[in-house]
Amino acid sequence: MSQIGNNIKKLRSVKGLSQQAFADLFGLTRGNISSYEERRAEPKIEVMLQVAKYFSIPIAELLEKQLTVNEILNFEDYFPSDPLTIETGTLAKIPFLDRDYFRHYDGSAASLDSRPSIYLPLDSNNKFLAIENSSFIPHPVGFAFEEHMILFFEQVRVDILHTLGDHFGYFGGDTPFFGRYDLAGKEIGLVLNDWKKEVYTAETAPHFWKLFGKFERVM
């Protein structure tokens, strides 16, 4: 059975596209996309080829395979996504929070263990987190990262507190946001703006992350 309808729906979800926005990319109607996703119809072969080319996905996989988040984000050539193949312990398993996670965020954060994962060769015992940058996450002035860019964060521990000054970070508590760390005496805060700031304490420590790196697709 063709997976084209499921994959179009997954593509839209990962890329943050409405049915109308997806349809506009390929000269279709919202009704066309709805019928594909509900398996009431399948796109013409020329449309399938356009979708595969646009998202850099092999046509056979678009038709026959249920695509993963890693494959859609074009990580698959570099980072293994199947945990059964990872036996050496040399790759870090990193929970991934996409735009839909924040689109439907209600203040009750789900366990990171339940999220899809990205695997990277990181020589560290620290915890890491991958986040798709989107308009659903507030950020400070000067946060020069593009929409859909994948940002990697390292969980803040006591022994790296002195390195935080003026670095970007992520707060994953009741109201998630990107901010810039500010060190004032013994107080460490992650600042969004003049009205929003979270102070690092022993109780809130698990919610603080320091920007580690980024993944940016080169077109």
pLDDT, greater one: 41 or 57: 41
**Number of Cβ within a 10 Å radius of residue 70:** 21
Delimiting residues of CATH 2.10.109 domain(s) in the chain: 83-215
Q: Which helix (H) or strand (E) holds 120?
A: strand 117-120
> pLDDT (tens digit, 9 = 90+) per residue, 202-218?
889 999 999 999 887 65
Sign of the CA dihedral with 199 first, then 202, 205, and 206 last: negative
Which homologous superfamily does the CATH classification assign to the domain defined by 4-67? Answer: lambda repressor-like DNA-binding domains (1.10.260.40)
Q: What is the DSSP string of 87-147?
A: -SS-SEEEEEE-HHHHHT--S-PPPGGGS-EEEE----SS-EEEEE--TTS---TT----T
* Confidence (pLDDT) at 89: 57
Q: What is the pTM for the complete model shown?
A: 0.60
> pLDDT (tens digit, 9 = 90+) per residue, 76-98?
443 344 444 444 456 788 999 98
Tokens 């996450």, located at residue? 137
Domain at 83-215: CATH code:
2.10.109
Delimiting residues of CATH 1.10.260.40 domain(s) in the chain: 4-67
